């Protein structure tokens, strides 16, 4: 397992790539990510244009912060399907998916579709709007002599998954679980709201 980069490493590699200008004024750790703070917009834009820091042991993608980053004001209860185009099948797995989506939703499962060459990821989030439409992943080093991982942009499309009753259960099974027969038969439920 590759050790996590230190904040001083991030500064060092940014300095290597950009020189002494356009560096962030501060970097803070926000597990599992880092937040880069900039004194002005032009420094932010220059660093953002580099897309990532690439080293022999890791790649850190620059992703613009949004108000939905780690958005937990609304619980992550809604089941959502995220179709991702661009992840090679040989690296598709929980580590890549959690790195890509983990700050916006809870990844619960995935399946790579051989026909479409897309990955369908099953997540829980507050809504489809919090999941970005693009992301950046690091590809493993494939060529001998090249020691810096390549980065690749992927596209993502989020769709809500409807909550459905288990059709295999009978009305009697639902009633035995405490649901009123009229609710199970008609599918109508009204709840009393107190003001």
Q: Quick one: angle between helices 41-49 and 7-18, nearest 10?
A: 90
- Which residues have CB under 8 Å from 176's CB, separation 6+? none
Work out the pLDDT band at 179, boundaries 50, 70, 90: low
What the block records as the tokens of 127 is: 């809504």
The pLDDT-based confidence of 172 (bands split at 50, 70, 90) is: low
HSE toward the beta carbon, residue 167, CA cutoff 13 A: 1
pLDDT, residue 19, reads: 84
The whole model's pTM is what?
0.63
Burial per residue of 21-53, b for 16 or more beta-carbon CB atoms within 10 angstroms, e otherwise? ebbbeebeeeeebbebebeeeebbeebeeeebb
pLDDT of residue 193: 40
Spatial separation of the C-alpha atoms in residues 90 and 84, rounded to whole Å:
15
> How many Cα atoms within 13 Å fall on the side-chain side of residue 128?
13
Q: Residue 1: which pLDDT band, with cuts at 50, 70 and 90?
A: very low
């Amino acid at each position: 397992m590759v050790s996590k980069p230190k904040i001083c490493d991030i500064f060092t590699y940014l300095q290597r790539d950009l020189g002494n200008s356009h560096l962030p004024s501060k970097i803070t750790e926000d597990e599992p990510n880092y937040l880069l703070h900039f004194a002005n917009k032009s420094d932010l834009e220059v660093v953002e244009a580099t897309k990532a820091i690439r080293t022999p042991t890791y790649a850190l993608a620059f992703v613009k912060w949004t108000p939905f980053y780690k958005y937990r004001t609304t619980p992550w209860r809604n089941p959502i399907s995220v179709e991702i185009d661009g992840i090679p099948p040989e690296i598709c797995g929980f580590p890549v998916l959690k790195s890509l989506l983990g700050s916006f939703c809870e990844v619960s499962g995935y399946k790579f579709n051989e026909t479409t060459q897309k990955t369908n990821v099953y997540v829980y989030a507050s809504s489809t709007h919090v999941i970005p439409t693009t992301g950046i992943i690091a590809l493993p080093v494939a060529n001998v002599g090249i020691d810096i991982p390549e980065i690749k942009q992927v596209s993502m499309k989020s769709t809500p998954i409807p909550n459905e009753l288990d059709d295999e259960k009978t009305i009697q099974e639902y009633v035995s679980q405490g649901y009123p027969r009229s609710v199970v038969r008609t599918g109508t439920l009204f709840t009393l709201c107190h003001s």
